[in-house]
A and B are shown apart, each in its own frame.
Chain A
């Protein structure tokens, strides 16, 4: 068994334009999906959501506000799961509700130091 990081990326505008009902609905879908992973005993870390605002520090102490100035895609959150293989982890990621909202999931094996 190996650990994998799921990184969720989406257009930050998608969430902020949602109606309360749609938000509630999306929340339930996320809980069902993560609950399903947890029910298999394969959730290693429930992770967290990330706020939209943020800073990026670049060489020579240059600070820019927000990592997503030039892109419509920003990291919105992450979880950690356990799976036999990258294939299995990828299969798990296919159920993620972000996919029906134009977002994506990056699946990355974790290398334990």
Chain B
């Protein structure tokens, strides 16, 4: 691997490890210092390796430099050293020297504990996602701003407040106890799910960046499946659902970076390997009694990977949406259920159900009804697509709607 690829690659995998281990060493209140040292380490790597070439064992090199930078920092900042060594050095075998444990075990543990800390229920969800992108995925401020479609200043403020919150709430880097592991893990899964969706559904133009967000969310979820304490059915179900969705990544965007709707996708572009991985994790999820929303969404995802467009396929999808909605309401699930109803039964039945949904301010509600009226009443379809267009915000949505309206007008 060339340097210009090697460093970004290592940054993705090693930045969070160094940050997690150092945050655990210093205490989470000093996460910023841990992040600074990790960033500095990579800065030095890109300078040195650019001149001398990459060392034989780049990862070991990074860890050594990070350790040295930490010791330097402690030597320079006596006050900080006293503050943290007051708590740490007592247990440390080297006495005066702080021990920085970069063993595989501690790296894994620290990363998992960091996930639990960042997804602490005292933090607003927005902050959790921001921190996850920044600390766990090694995304820079401008990348996060790009993913969230906002500016750097907003993201900077959000991260600042999130780190403040970690301090004031005194969030610790530790594994939750047996009594609250389930609810804490639930919070982690929710954040990873949102993180994935941020990448998958965001209207951001940068396709590579959005794909990276999805891949990182999958990596973090996979990490949870590799740890016996967190390898639970809902975790596997979430990973399965991510794999099924991600299998359509190439098919759902055209070369211009515009969204291609499911029914218009070229299914030869669906990624068979990811579909297989999804089936593997869905099988692993199918133990025990618990049927989480991730199980149901993974099952829906699975049926979407079946290419044949039959009423049976949509009947399965419809029944899973029924169960999902009974478990937890969301407008998007309500709309998708209605679409499945049209495919499994008839458009007329779906229209009847759609009209009961009180979602008239949602542009997707109007485009669904427009879709359902196609072939039944083109005039009504046109009305609904126009209503949707007046509510749609993103350029991609507007373009899709305008195409539909144009197609109806041409046919008339």
Contacts and interface: CB of A to CB of B under 8 A. Distances in A.
A39 B324 CA distance: 10
B357 A39 contact: yes
A41 B329 contact: yes
A36 B326 contact: no
B319 A31 contact: yes
A28 B319 contact: yes
Interface string B210-249: 0000000000000000000000000000000000000000
A8 to B, nearest CB: 16
B321 A35 contact: yes
A32 B356 contact: no
B338 interface: yes
B326 A34 contact: yes
A38 B326 contact: yes
Interface string A15-43: 00000000000001001101110111101
Interface in B343-376: 353, 356-358
B319 A39 contact: no
A43 B326 CA distance: 7
B322 A38 contact: yes
B323 A39 contact: no
Interface residues of chain B: helix, strand, loop or mixed (majority): helix
A41 B334 contact: yes
Contacts of A108: none
What bracket does the count of chain A residues touching chain B fall in?
10 to 19
Given A31-B319, A41-B334, A41-B358, A36 B329 contact: no
A94 interface: no
B325 interface: yes
B353 A46 contact: no
A35 B317 CA distance: 12
Contacts of B326: 31, 34-35, 38, 43, 46
Contact of B337 (A28, A39, A43, A46): A39
B295 to A, nearest CB: 16
Contacts of B325: 35, 38-39, 43
Nearest to A43: B326
A35 B325 CA distance: 6
B322 A31 contact: yes
Nearest to B354: A39
Nearest to A92: B356
A35 B193 CA distance: 23
A26 B324 CA distance: 19
Contacts of B356: 36, 39-40
11 contacts: A28-B319, A31-B326, A34-B326, A35-B326, A35-B337, A39-B329, A39-B356, A40-B358, A41-B358, A43-B325, A43-B326
Interface of B: 318-319, 321-323, 325-327, 329, 331, 333-334, 337-338, 353, 356-358
Interface of A: 28, 31-32, 34-36, 38-41, 43, 46
